[in-house]
Chains A and B, each alone.
Chain A
């Protein structure tokens, strides 16, 4: 996230080239050092990330319920689990909902984030500090604290949102229970996630906007370009790489979003807010069908790859440029 902007420019030539100085005898030992230094990271990644991923894949082709969990041996069943979940109409409902959830959230987050970033650029110094501190406050607030606060804001009795809506003339919101109605619960979660995510997008894009040289704006204006034109031909091209990265990250985050949904609605009411991660968790935890849960998780990862691959390609390209 917060790559210091100076780091890229200050890189001093290829590292480690200098001090070879002919001590060839020590070279073998020396060449071992980098591997020793990365060893703990690699071991950690293999045991705590690689192995669980493989295990997940394995469980998804085994019969793995409560009994297998206790006994420890599980029979291989091929793709039966995948077959079972894919032929379950509920899964398709969940996938559909997950795509809507991700699409709506990301759209709102990116549009609002971009608007706020553009606004920040045009604000005076004092106002900019005020708005930025508000954004940082929202950004830094711990997720679980935020979920309890939103539940309080949207509480059916004494909740300030219901009060405000009633005052504005929407009498039906008096004592309205947001979590009892599927669509309303969806809206609350949407607002919660958007509220939490916009600051990151706005602050990152604003930082990127600051790298647009002022002279570029100036000369475009002198050439008679209008505000929209300047935005399209000067600002946008410079913003595009950062925008792409942020977009990928947001899609990944919103798609994977679990805590907010689980803590506020538990996937309810009547599964109206169950997205893929919640679905997988639910199957495993309440039905003790770890095999089906693992299969859903694998599908989640496969769907995510569609976004992850362009993201990683961007990261690598950036890496190559540095």
Chain B
């Protein structure tokens, strides 16, 4: 470690070089797998099978996407995944909003215990619950059914949703609501007309997390959907890519790209909006 005062620009420049080189390395290492996935998905088959990898293809093709889309049950698995994910997100938001409001805006006995329960639930060892869930689902006739997955994903995402919405809610001054109530609004009117609009970015940010969790979930989907193969979700289908596509890496990467697309897009679109919304809310507040 060098120490002491630097003297002037040449030293800073010399110091910047390894720093920027390191930054470039980190960027390449973190982005390359994603780049390689998308590139392979669009690459003509001969270039995928070239002994020397082609890092910049001569032409692009949609053939692999067509292969992926023609795979058995492709549309069905998309429908299943979207259905499970969206219902889980909506359910978690509605339920969590109530709980978050109670924690952030009301004083009541047992509040601290409830918050503690939410924290504990947030780090619940879900992987350890695969076996009892399987047995319970079997006993109650919930095996091989998508609503079972929705319920489990709802519970997986709920604690985080409560915690995050709570902290968004505490960020919105309670005085705004109180002023509305002085003006004659009921508590629920005040919430609907004043707080809820300000909370919208928070809801968006929180649902992003819920969406990602449910969209990705593999272990329970793999454990609880067994006989009824039509009810599988995308992650389970994609994990068995070698049964579906063999060593057709183009099609596998096309399917992976399509699977990753909603999440990556949501991230790109929403992150900006969430940040902007939060800044806007802070200024208005």
| Interface residue ranges, A against B (CB under 8 Å) | 1-4, 6-8, 10-19, 31, 33-38, 40-42, 44-45, 48-49, 51-53, 55-56, 59, 64, 69, 72, 116, 119, 122-124, 127-128, 130-131, 134-138, 140-150, 152-153, 155, 157-158, 160, 163, 195, 198-199, 226-229, 249, 252, 256, 258-259, 262-263, 277, 280-281, 284-285, 290, 293-294, 297-298, 300-301, 304, 308, 311-312, 315-316, 319, 322
Contacts and interface: CB of A to CB of B under 8 A. Distances in A.
- Report the interface size class on chain B: 35 or more
A256 B205 contact: no
B31 A152 contact: no
Nearest to A221: B5
Contacts of A290: 131, 134-135
Nearest to A252: B123
Nearest to B176: A12
B30 A138 contact: yes
Contacts of A45: 117, 121, 155, 158-159
A52 B133 contact: yes
Nearest to B266: A140
Given A160-B53, A293-B131, A140 B27 contact: no
Interface of B is mostly: helix
Nearest to A112: B26
Contacts of B178: 18-19
Given A44-B158, A263-B239, A258 B36 contact: no
Nearest to A9: B171
B23 A130 contact: yes
Rank and list the top 10 A-B pairs by shortest CB-CB distance, nearest first: A226-B3, A297-B128, A37-B98, A48-B155, A7-B171, A37-B102, A34-B102, A134-B27, A55-B132, A134-B30
B128 A277 contact: yes
Contact of A141 (B98, B219, B260): B260
Contacts of A281: 127, 130-131, 219, 223
Interface of B: 1-4, 16, 19-20, 22-23, 26-31, 33-34, 36-37, 40, 48-49, 51-53, 95-96, 98-99, 101-108, 111, 114-121, 123-136, 138-139, 151-152, 154-155, 158-160, 162, 164, 167-168, 170-171, 173-175, 178, 181, 205, 209, 212, 215-216, 218-219, 222-223, 234-235, 238-239, 241, 247, 249, 252-253, 255-257, 259-260, 263-264, 267, 271, 278, 282, 285
Contacts of A163: 51-53
A290 B131 CA distance: 7
A142 B263 contact: yes
B182 to A, nearest CB: 9
